[in-house]
Amino acid sequence: MNFKNELLSRVYLVMLIVVLAALLILGQLVKIGLIERDKWIKMGDKFSFSLEPVDAERGNILTESGATLATSLPFYELRMDAGCPSLTNEIFSKKLDSLCYCLWKFVDPTISQKSWKQKIVMARHDKNRYLLLKDDIGYDLFEKVKTFPIFNLGRNTGGLIGIRKSKREFPYGNLGRRTIGYSMQTVQPVGIEGAFNNFLRGEQGMRLMQKIPGGNKIPAEDFDRIAPINGKDVVITLDESIQDIAHDELSNALIHHNAEYGCAVVMEVKTGKIRAMVNLEKSNGGYVEALNYALGGSVEPGSTFKAASVLALLEDGYLDNITDTIKLFKGRKKYGDKEMKDAHDHNIDSTDLKHAFAISSNTGISNLVNTYYGNNQAGKFINRLKQFRLNEKTGLEIPGEVTPTLKEAYSSKDLWSGTTLPWMSIGYELAITPLQLLTFYNAIANDGTMMKPYLVSEIRDYNKDYVVKSFEPQILKKHIASRKSIRLMKELLEAVVDVGGTAANLAPKDYKIAGKTGTSQMNYQKINNATNFGYRSSFVGYFPADNPMYSMIVVVSEPKQNGYYGAYVAGPVFRNISDRIFSRMYDRHIAFTETKLDPEVALKNKPNLVSAGYQSDLSYLLDKLDLPFDHDVKGEWAKTSKENDQIKLTDKKLDSNKIPNVIGMGLRDATYLLESMGLKVEAVGCGKVKRQSIAPGTLVTRQIVRLFLG
């Protein structure tokens, strides 16, 4: 009995201890969870770690010659962990003055050494682990900051925090910006940036981050746990020189005619490569690349569509030859209750097809189409247009292309009427984009073979130096029409730019252009007063006509001054661009003879030979020419300037990671300097460097640099 009582006593004692322990634990939970909640949350924050994503460096967009059209440049938010536990007071006190001197000298001279010191001492006193020093510094400066006293001890001891970010830079400014495009999370992707974002963006890495008081996170280690994989480079078909030419000429025309917008596209005939795509619209007194009208601007083309109508007639055998006689009705003809007129009054009742097409007779072409396809045969005409793929997209890689609007014959849904066929034959009651129309004309230039327009030639991994994916020319249709029809169509397009044609004013002396003018009325269905019409001026064709290399379309919308006809608004833009491309294609090197320079003339114009180069060569040359100069050069490379009555040589600063400015150098020096940095060099012309294809300051990534001499 005593044993039983003793056993029960022990059980009760154990139970009491367990209950008391449970109550104690419960009390602690209440204390921690309710009373001391904020304290423990702060402490947890202090020591919480997590793996956070690290963005990869976005790939570049390059031309085939190596010019960089879009690149990502790194910059850093510079901060200091002034309360870093591993940074001892002894090291801090001993090296702080030196650190403050470096910050004043190299990071921000507007803040004195004394102010820097006060700022950092106060931050250490407050145990500020996220002190902002500078919010935007470049890669080179950040690398230099790493060598400063205290900071050179590393992240965990020196407290240096560099938060890496990237800026998307466009070395060629506004050139081709809409085609290059952009890719942002909250906005519909546009252009190459959007279409090839999966290649360009790379793959995120991971880094261990520590959460500190205030909610900020700082790197817990000096390295990434998982290194990000940089994005691939996209090489596009745009030629930076042709793009620059097209942009310049279109911009000048828009200003001259006070137009609302315009576009110009240059395509390589045999391949379908887009060599230039310019889209400019009026904005704040100037013109900018905003919308891609070439790709998404589906409009009534007007007379440029007549080539498709005539090609359909030729294909169906309704016309045997371009010398066939057709009626023009003296430039006026009624279809139902609507009268069609030619652009200019004339008294021609009939003429041959070649002349009618050359003067762009609305009545002549529309009567042919209405005569042969008007008796319940409109479906045959529509099918021919479909044979030319004028009802389909081109399939260009970038987003935004719209489908052409082509009515089905006699469709009430499409509002087909008794006047639809004749008006469709001259480019109304249908809609097509400039690029789609150009693709059709390019096929004519290419003997009937329709090439797919394309903008991207390859995806490259420059880190591993290999091609990830390449894109080759692609045939959309081997023959859009018979050889005979295409041959006759070519003759008609050449006649437009011949004597008596609407574009006779565009005929060059050294080569031949073939094409078609267009002057379409806008809002003609809504406005009764013809003086209020808006106009869209266009010219589409190819050159040289006898051996087509490039096709091109130019559209200028709503010109308000200095004319509105296609031959005098869009046509001159076409001619100016083709002239400059032609001279570039057939560039002839000019022999230079050595001449003795007059010192006074040389000093007046700055040295007329070169304005930069290898310093010993420059010194030797100036000495031989008896030109007074002052030598103040410590390095190998020098630049020249005029100072008072003499030439001054000073150091030319170079950065081994960035493309140097070689403008003004001789070809030998420029080539040596660029090739020593791992770059490839192509030269055009003779003389000293007038222009370089890749902007100075662009990061070196094994590009090809084209030098233009003169």
Element spanning 423, H or E: helix 420-425
Q: What is the mean pLDDT of residues 135-164?
A: 88
Give the Cα separation of 699 and 694 in Å (integer): 10
Single-letter amino acid code for the residue at 609: L
pLDDT at 652: 79
**Pairwise pLDDT comparison (167 vs 387), residue with the higher score:** 387
**Pairwise pLDDT comparison (393 vs 31), residue with the higher score:** 393
pLDDT at 314 over 80: yes
Position 2 confidence tier, pLDDT thresholds 50, 70, 90: low
Query: How many CB atoms within 10 Å of residue 585?
Result: 12
Angle of helix 306-315 relative to helix 362-373, nearest 10 degrees, comes to 40
Helices (H), 150-273: 155-158, 177-180, 191-195, 197-200, 240-257
Q: At 649, list the tokens.
A: 């040589």
Single-letter amino acid code for the residue at 18: V
pLDDT at 591: 28
Give the Cα separation of 380 and 301 in Å (integer): 21
Q: Which residues of 144-159 are buried (b: 16+ CB within 10 A; e: fewer)?
A: ebeebbbbebebbbbb
pLDDT at 534 over 90: no
Give the Cα separation of 27 and 10 in Å (integer): 25
Contact 360, 515 (CB under 8 A): no
pLDDT in tens, 81-126: 988 888 999 999 999 999 999 999 999 999 999 999 999 999 999 9
pLDDT in tens, 245-273: 999 999 999 999 999 999 999 999 999 99
pLDDT at 149 over 90: yes
Q: What is the mean pLDDT of residues 662-691?
A: 80
**Which residue in 365, 238, 219, 236 sits closest to 305, CA to CA?**
365
pTM, two decimal places? 0.74
Give the Cα separation of 52 and 541 in Å (integer): 55
Among 56-60, 443-447, 664-668, the range of highest mean pLDDT: 443-447
Q: What are phi and psi of 475, to 5 degrees?
A: -85, 125
Q: Domains in the chain and their CATH numbers?
A: 52-205+220-232 (3.90.1310.10), 243-585 (3.40.710.10), 599-709 (3.30.10.20)
β 217-219/205-211 pair status: antiparallel
Query: In the Cβ-directed half-sphere of 560, how many Cα atoms lie within 13 Å?
Result: 6
Contact 354, 380 (CB under 8 A): no
Contact 461, 232 (CB under 8 A): yes
Give the Cα separation of 146 and 154 in Å (integer): 8
Position 602 confidence tier, pLDDT thresholds 50, 70, 90: very low
CA 241 to chain centre: 13
Give the Cα separation of 385 and 437 in Å (integer): 12
Query: How many CB atoms within 10 Å of residue 369?
Result: 23
Q: What is the mean pLDDT of residues 674-694?
A: 79
CA 11 to chain centre: 84
Give the Cα separation of 51 and 279 in Å (integer): 44
Position 593 confidence tier, pLDDT thresholds 50, 70, 90: very low
pLDDT at 396 over 90: yes
Angle of helix 378-387 relative to helix 306-315, nearest 10 degrees, comes to 110
Q: What is the mean pLDDT of residues 229-255?
A: 93
Q: What are phi and psi of 547, to 5 degrees?
A: -155, 75
Q: What are phi and psi of 596, to 5 degrees?
A: -80, 125
Which residues, 6 or more positions from 628, have their beta carbon under 8 angstroms from its beta carbon? Answer: 599, 603, 645, 646, 647
Contact 179, 95 (CB under 8 A): no
pLDDT at 608: 46
pLDDT at 349 over 80: yes
